């Protein structure tokens, strides 16, 4: 339980236990959620990137987020302005990503927030929200009488 397996298609993650994604903060795509479905997810300005960020401070091919058996890692792939995790420049090394880490690129104002949730936690969270909504509807219904 809790491990990701390679799917039949090379380079694609098959996941029944994890739900990993990036949320874009800032720019014209603010709030967009990008699900991580590949072993290597590319980030950059180029239209062939998996996560396209249209910002002049971001290189065409800026960074990669890679999954290994030890977790998710981000690495700068030769950008001009650098890649930062929680405001620390990662330089030429890889940085392991933790839940809630903020990835930024050079002086730009766009950030990616990394989330790696166990699917069971997501389902429990959804159930709590659904239950809360059900109770709020009952309260509103009773107030209307």
Please say whether the dihedral angle defined by the alpha carbons of residues 52, 4, 121 and 114, taken in this order, is positive or negative. negative
Domain that residue 110 falls in: 5-117
Whether 126 is in a domain gets the answer no
The pLDDT of 37-44, averaged and rounded, is 94
Model confidence pLDDT, tens digit, residues 131-141: 555 544 444 44
Q: For the segment 59-81, what is each residue's pLDDT rounded down to a tens digit?
A: 999 999 999 888 999 999 999 99
Give me the percent of the chain exceeding a pLDDT of 90.
53
The total number of structural domains in the chain stands at 1
* Position 90 in a domain: yes
140 falls within a domain: no
47 pLDDT higher than 80: yes
- What CATH number should be reported for the domain holding residue 84? 2.60.200.20
Q: Kindly report the pTM of this predicted structure.
A: 0.70
């Amino acid at each position: 339980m809790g491990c990701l397996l390679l799917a039949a298609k090379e380079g694609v993650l098959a996941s029944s236990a994890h739900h990993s994604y990036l949320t874009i903060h800032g720019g014209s795509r603010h709030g967009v959620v990008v699900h991580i479905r590949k072993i290597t997810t590319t980030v950059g300005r180029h239209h062939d990137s998996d996560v396209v960020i249209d910002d002049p401070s971001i290189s065409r091919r800026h960074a990669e987020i890679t999954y290994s058996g030890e977790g998710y890692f981000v690495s700068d792939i030769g950008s001009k302005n650098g890649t930062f995790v929680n405001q620390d420049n990662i330089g030429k090394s890889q940085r392991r990503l933790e839940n809630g880490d903020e990835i930024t690129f050079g002086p730009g104002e766009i950030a990616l927030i990394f989330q790696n949730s166990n699917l069971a936690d997501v389902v429990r969270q959804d159930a709590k929200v659904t239950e809360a909504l059900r109770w709020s509807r009952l309260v509103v219904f009773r107030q209307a009488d």
